[in-house]
A = this chain, B = another copy of it.
Amino acid sequence: MNIVFGNRNSVEEVEEGDKLQPKFDEKGLIPAITVDMSSKEILMHGYMNKEALKLSIETKNAHYWSRSRQSIWKKGEKSGLQQKIKKIRIDDDQDCIIIFVELEGLKASCHVGYKSCFYRELKSINSKFSDKLVFIEKEKVFDPEEVYGDTPNPTKL
């Protein structure tokens, strides 16, 4: 099936229509939230360019745009942490998508070794949020050195 990203002709059509009319930002990217299909847990927040979104839709394998490497990134190609896409949702103004995925391989998505990238939350002290973080995943699923070897770390300061 040939996937066409429609032109954005009117606000009404973008918000209430049945045509896929995604908006890419000034860098050509759209944010993508990745959700575990079975647990509904948010696994990642990444970005796709037009090609990555098209590949994701057509192949059902999650593809992103790597901002650190400036290239298309087929999730799991090196690490084995593939994501099989089951559902794709888009928001009101079509500038953000959610992909619901099944995890393959090690059943994890985060390059640090955790299942989800969101493995920490703000600690509450006396019913108020603090600026201290606590780990909500107690153990890593895998050893990132074993999986990624000497691949450069994508985290930038």
The answer to whether residues A98 and B133 also contact, given A93-B156, A155-B15 and a CB cut-off of 8 A, is no
Return chain B residues, CB-CB under 8 Å to A156.
93
- Cβ-defined contact, B45 with A33, below 8 A: yes
Count, chain A residues at interface, CB 8 A = 62
Report how far A75 CA is from B27 CA in the complex, Å: 28
Interface residues of A in 1-48 (CB under 8 A from B): 1, 3-6, 8-11, 14-20, 31, 33, 35, 40-42, 44-45
Q: Is A72 an interface residue (CB 8 A)?
A: no
Contact (A88, B122) CB under 8 Å given A42-B35, A96-B45, A112-B16: yes
Question: Nearest B residue to A43 by beta-carbon distance?
Answer: B91
Name the CB-closest residue of B to A96: B45
11 A-B contacts, Cβ less than 8 Å apart?
A1-B128, A3-B130, A4-B131, A15-B112, A18-B132, A31-B31, A33-B33, A33-B42, A40-B40, A57-B122, A98-B118
